[in-house]
Amino acid sequence: MIIKQRPSWAISESEVTPESIYLNRRKFMSGLAVTAAAMAIPGLTQAAENQGKPALNYRKVVDYSTDETATPYSDITRYNNFYEFGPSKEDPARHAGQMVVDPWSVEVEGECARPGRYALEDLLKPHSYQERIYRLRCVEAWSMVIPWVGVPLADILKQLEPTSKAKYVYFETLQNPEQMPGQRSLFSTIDWPYREGLRMDEAMNELSFLAVGLYGKELLNQNGAPIRLVVPWKYGFKSIKSIVKIRFMKERPMTSWEMIAPDEYGFYANVNPEVDHPRWSQSRERRLPSGVFRPNWIETTKFNGYGEQVAGLYKGMDLATFY
């Protein structure tokens, strides 16, 4: 049963309207993809903290990467939303170690020529990894810059051969209450499993990404190991973690936050400073790391600064109606 109540990410108006300190830079690096070893990656030294995880081979794709300073590894891995492990930001780092991520398989179903259960390594085998440094903007008005490693979502989806009837793609997270304390909680507002979806053209967009690592190494469980979606122009809740199901659909699927509060969290969830959340402004964001004396507020930009790549997907749509 879903108990409708204020989600834990709800923040007060006063918390999200102080002055901006830094302007968001939407500068993109341009040029060819080069090997990671040949490039200085902002904040790469943070990777030292990630010694326990296997390193990944990847090439750095600068075309899609921001040159903004990457958020420290410690913030990316200790300040998380992963309600399966509890509602507070520290819960995922504390509890996600219980999740078994190897072996891992992904069930593929619906409107495609190659349905079935795939071992994760088989799904990934035909592809080489890329690094993309993307901004992540949460609907709660905080943000980070994360050097993800993974594969374009379009490459994986094409391999599954969606039919012309596939208009949407739906994703589900692991459901395992034994390993996920948040799924055992009687106070949870989410009707498990966590669900998300994209329109097919959004999913095939060049920016949509499936991440298996960050800062050059495999994902920690709290960040959605072993495979999670990253849709950088949408609020963070669209970037579903620990995916076990991909379904191609004719109809638009219902998604977890839309099921809880459809007037607050829409299917599209495009980052948009012009459309406020009913209970707080979306015009600014707190860029992590931030603290009481240096909250680090910056302006939020439409489509999280990725308008050049994605604005065309929404041509003619009223983004205040389709929020």
The contact set with ligand MTE (CB under 6 A) reads 80-84, 136, 138, 173, 194, 223-224, 236-237, 239-242
Which is nearer to ligand MTE, 189 or 301 (by Cβ)? 189
Q: Tell me the closest approach of the beta carbon of residue 92 to ligand MTE, in angstroms.
A: 6
CB count in 10 Å sphere of residue 149: 25
With beta carbons less than 8 A apart as the criterion, state whether 301 and 196 touch: no
- Which amino acid type is present at position 85? F
Half-sphere exposure of 123 (CA within 13 A, CB side): 32
Distance from C-alpha of 271 to C-alpha of 236, rounded to nearest angstrom: 9
168-173 β-sheet, strand order = 116-119, 105-110, 243-249, 168-173, 195-199
Helix, strand, coil percent values for the chain (each to nearest 5): 25, 25, 50
Q: How far is the CB of 106 from ligand MTE (least distance, A)?
A: 14
Omega before 87 cis (within 30°)?
Answer: no
Report the DSSP pairing between strands 284-287 and 142-152: parallel
Which residue, judged by CB position, is nearest to ligand MTE in the bound state?
236
Looking at beta carbons only, is 104 or 111 nearer to ligand MTE? 104
CB closer to ligand MTE, 111 vs 233: 233
Q: How far is the CB of 113 from ligand MTE (least distance, A)?
A: 28
Tell me whether residue 152 or residue 236 sits nearer to ligand MTE (CB atom).
236
Q: Least distance from C-beta 268 to ligand MTE, angstroms?
A: 15
C-beta of 194 vs 233, nearer to ligand MTE:
194
Closer of 73 and 82 to ligand MTE (Cβ): 82
Residue 84 or 258: which CB sits closer to ligand MTE? 84
SS3 257: helix
286 contacts 142 by C-beta, under 8 angstroms? yes
For the four alpha carbons of 187, 192, 194 and 200, in that order, the dihedral sign comes to: negative
Q: Both tokens of residue 181?
A: 């304390």
- Considering the complex, state which of residue 81 and residue 282 has its C-beta at the smaller distance from ligand MTE: 81
131 Ramachandran zone, left/alpha/beta (phi>0; psi -120 to 50): beta
Instruction: Compute the distance between CA of residue 181 and CA of residue 74 in angstroms, rounded to an integer.
Output: 23
Dihedral in degrees, nearest 10, Cα atoms 261, 263, 269, 273: -130
**Rounded least distance, CB 278 to ligand MTE, Å:** 17
**Nearest distance from C-beta of residue 161 to ligand MTE, angstroms:** 26
Structure tokens that stand for 144 in this block: 């980070």
Q: Least distance in Å: CB of 164 to ligand MTE?
A: 30
Least Å distance, CB 140 to ligand MTE, is 7
